[in-house]
Chains A and B, each alone.
Chain A
Amino acid sequence: MEGMAVRLQGLRKTFSETVAVAGVDLEIRDGEFFSMLGPSGSGKTTVLRLIAGFETPTAGRIELAGQEVTGLAPFERDVHTVFQDYALFPHMTVEQNVAYALKVRKVPRAERLARAREALAGVRLDGYGSRRPAQLSGGQRQRVALARALVGRPRVLLLDEPLGALDLKLREQMQLELKALQREVGITFVFVTHDQEEALTMSDRVAVFHQGRLEQVGAPAEIYERPATAFVASFVGTSNLLRGETARRVLGTGGAHSVRPEKIRVLDESACVDEPGVVSAAGTVAEVVYRGDATRFLVDLDAGGRLTALQQNLETSAEDVAAYRGARVRLAWHRRHTVPIPEESAPRPGAADTTGTADAPDATNTSAPAESPGTAGRPDRPDPAKSPGTAQVPDAR
C-alpha cells in the first residue's frame, strides 16, 4: 500500500471569531506534487502553517508519515517550508543559509559545506555561495530558499506561494524547474497557490479550498473537466454556468451546468448544427476581447444568461474580431462537455451571474461587458502585486 505523507483529520482553526479552517480531511500521498488552490482567505495557507507547526489547530489531527504531530513544535517535524517572502537570513551568506538546517543538526562542517554546495548546484546557483541574500535577484533568492529547504531532505516540502513575487516569465520557468526538481528528489511537495494555472500545470493532484473547506480534490484534468461544485467551476478556469430556465431551454434539462469557454465554437447564426450530441444556442455578441493568441466572445443568449467562448486566433486578426461586436451568432458545443453541477453547491449570490433569469437580463451584465459571467469577483489572471506578502519582498537588485 502506498504511504501517506500527510493525513489531516477534522482539522479546524479559528482565530478569535474568524474561522480560517472549518474542518478539513485530506490525505497527501508519498512523493506526490500536491497543490492547495484557493482564493486568498480560503484557508489554504493556514492549513500549510498547521502542517508546518507554526499554528496549533483548534481541533483535529495532523499525521506526518503515519506519526501524529498535532502538538509538536515546528523543529520537531520532518517538514521544511519555502516561504512566500523566502525568509532568508539576511546576516548569513547564501551558503550559510542553505547549510543552516544541517548546522542545527550538528552535521560535521565538511559534510555540511559539501551538501550545501550540492544543493546550490541543484538549483543552478553554484558559485553564489559567498553572496548575501540582498545581493541576489528575486528568482535567485527563490532558488536559495528552495535549496535551503531541500538540503535537509525533509519528508515533506511545503511551498507557500513561492512564485507569487516573480514576474510572469520567471514564474513560468520556475514552474517547470520546480516540477523537474520534485521528480528528481522524490520528496512530497505541498504547494499553496491562488493561481489555478500554476496548480494545473505542476500538480499530480489539486485540492480546491473555499471558505475554509475543501471543495474538491483530484487530478488537474478532473478538477478542470469535472468540477464538483459551482465554486470549483468558476474558480478553476473561466466557467460558464447554465442554470434553471436557461439550462432547460438550451440543454433540455434543469439544474446547473458548466461548460468551458474553449469547448464552445462560435458560428454564424444561420449555421445548421445537427451533428449528434451537439448543443447549440443563438445569441448576440456583447463584447469581444482580443488576447493575442485567442479571442474571448461574451455572448448574451436569447435563452437568457451569458456565455463566454474562447476561440484560437487561427486565421483571424484583431480587426476581424472587432467586427463581431453586436453580431448575431450561434454557439455550439458537444453535450459531453456540459458538466452538471450539484445544485446545493450553488455559488453565493453574485459569484456567478449567468443565472436562469431569462426574461430579466441582469443589469450588471450589460454594464460590465468585459467581465465574463463566471469570473465576476475573482481575479482572472492573479495579479502578483495584489497577493499578500508581495509588498514585503524587496526589489530584485
Chain B
Amino acid sequence: MTATAPAARSAERRPQGPLRRAAGALHRRPRLRLALLLTAPLLWLAVLYLGSLSVLFVSAFWTTDSFTSAVVRVWSADNFHALVTTPVYRQVIVRSVGVALAVTVLCAVIAFPLAFYTARVARPRWRPLLVVAILTPLWASYLVKVYAWRLILSQGGLADWMLRPFGLSGPGFGLPATVLTLTYLWLPYMVLPLHTALRQLPDGLLDASADLGARPGRTFRSVVLPLVLPSLAAGSVFTFSLSLGDYITVQIVGGKTQLIGNLVYSDIELNLPMAAALGTVPVVVIVLYLLAIRRTGALSSL
C-alpha cells in the first residue's frame, strides 16, 4: 500500500485507468457513442418487432389448403377481399372499433373530473396519495380484475343486487359488460396524462378567463379543453389501442360477443393467413387513429 502511495497521489490529480480512457475516447467520438447505445435496441426493433409485423403482413396474402389447413404460399388478396365482403367480418371490425371508441369516450368522461379533482381541487399533500390510489388497480393482475368484473356482472351478482332497489338489473354478460370492464381496466391510462396536464395548467389562465367575463363553461371550452387536448389525445391512444387489441375480457364477460381478437384467436389454428389478415386490421386502424391524433399535437406530449 505504501509503495503505491505516490501513484495514488498522482491519480488524485488526474485519475487514470482503462475505463476512464475508454470513457474519454467515447467522449471524443459522439457517433461511436450513439452506435453503442442504440445497436441493441435498434436490432430488437428492426428484426423482432418490424420483422414480425412484416411477416404478419406477408402471410396475410397466402392461403390455406381447405382439407389439411396447411398454409399454401400462393399470393392472393382473397383474405382481404373476404374481410371487406363477408358481413360477419365487417360487423366484427365495426363492432371492435365501436367498442374501442366507446371505451375511449367513457374513459375521457370519467377521467376528466377525476383528474381535475386530483390535480387542482385536492389539497396538495393528498395529491400523491390520490395518484397512487388511481394507479393501484394497475398492480393487480389483469385476469383477476376481469374475473372480479365477471363476478360483479354475473346473474345475482353485485350489479344486480345494487340495481334491484331501482327495479333494474345488471347488464349481464355481453357488449355493454365488455365496454364497462375495458373502461375500468384502461381508466388509469387516461387519468394520468390528464392529471399531469391539469397540474401544469397555470392558475392565472383560469383567473384571467373569469376576469375577462367568461363563465366556467366558457373557460372550460376556450381555455382548459384546448390546453389539455394533447394530453387527452395521448391518453386516448392508450385506451383506444388497448381496447382494440383486447380479446380476453370479451371472452370472460362478453357472452357471445366477438371482437377482432377473438376471430384472430380462433383462426390461428385453422386459417393462419386469414388470422394474419384480420390482425392487420387493428394495425391499420390504429395507424389511421394516430394520424388523426397527430393533428392535435398529442404525439409530442406522449
Interface residues of A (CB under 8 A from B): 52-54, 73-75, 79-81, 83, 85, 87-91, 100-101, 103-105, 148-149, 152, 392
Beyond A53-B210, A54-B207, A74-B207, 19 additional pairs, beta carbon < 8 A: A52-B211, A53-B211, A54-B211, A75-B211, A75-B212, A75-B214, A79-B211, A81-B208, A87-B202, A87-B205, A89-B205, A89-B209, A89-B222, A89-B223, A101-B212, A104-B213, A148-B212, A149-B211, A152-B213
Expressed in whole angstroms, the minimum distance between the Cβ of A64 and any Cβ of chain B is 13
> Does B18 interact with chain A (Cβ within 8 Å)?
no
Q: A75: which of B202, B215, B223 is its contact (CB, 8 Å)?
A: B215
* Chain A proximity mask over B203-244: 1 for CB below 8 Å, otherwise 0: 011011111111100100011001100000000000000000
Once the chains bind, are A90 and B207 in contact (CB under 8 Å)? no
The residue from A79, A81, A152 contacting B207, defined by CB atoms under 8 A apart:
A81
**A100 in contact with B212 (CB, 8 Å):** yes
A-B contact pairs, 8 of them (CB 8 A): A54-B211, A75-B210, A75-B211, A75-B213, A80-B211, A85-B204, A90-B227, A101-B212
Which A residues lie within 8 Å of B227 (CB)?
A: 90-91
Shortest 9 CB-CB contacts between residues of A and residues of B: A87-B204, A87-B208, A74-B210, A101-B212, A104-B213, A104-B214, A81-B211, A91-B226, A75-B213
The reply to whether B205 and A100 form a contact with Cβ atoms under 8 Å apart is: no
Which residues of B come within 8 Å of A, CB atoms?
A: 202, 204-205, 207-215, 218, 222-223, 226-227
Residues of chain A within 8 A (CB-CB) of B212 are 75, 80, 100-101, 104, 148-149, 152
Q: How would you classify the secondary structure of chain B's contact residues: helix, strand, loop or mixed? A: helix
Chain A residue numbers with a CB within 8 Å of B226 are 91
B202 neighbours in A (Cβ, 8 Å): 85, 87, 392
Nearest-Cβ distance from residue B172 to partner chain A, whole angstroms:
44
Given the known interface contacts A90-B227, A392-B202, the answer about A83 and B214 at a Cβ–Cβ threshold of 8 Å is no
Looking at the assembled complex, report how far the CB atom of B222 sits from the nearest CB atom of chain A, in whole angstroms.
7
Closest Cβ of chain A to B200, distance in Å, is 11
Please report the C-alpha to C-alpha distance between residue A83 and residue B209 in the assembled complex, in whole angstroms.
Answer: 12
Write out the residue numbers on chain A whose beta carbons fall within 8 Å of the beta carbon of B218: 104
Smallest beta-carbon distance A238→chain B, Å: 34
Q: In the docked arrangement, what's the CA distance between A89 and B222, Å?
A: 9
Complex CA distance for A198 and B205, rounded to whole angstroms: 26
Given A89-B205, A91-B227, decide whether A100 and B211 contact each other with a Cβ distance below 8 A: no
| Residues of chain A lying within 8 A (CB to CB) of residue B205 | 87, 89
Beta-carbon nearest neighbor of B208 in chain A? A87
Residue of B nearest to A103 (CB): B222
Q: Is the CB of A83 within 8 A of B210?
A: no
| Residue numbers in B under 8 Å from A74 (CB-CB) | 207, 210-211
CB distance from A146 to the nearest CB of B (A): 13
Which of chain B's residues have a CB closer than 8 A to the CB of A101?
212-213
Interface-central residue, B202, B205, B208, B223, by most chain A CB under 10 Å: B208
Could you say which residues of chain B place their CB within 8 Å of the CB of A149? 211-212
Residues of A within 8 A of B211 (CB): 52-54, 74-75, 79-81, 149
Closest to A79 in B: B211
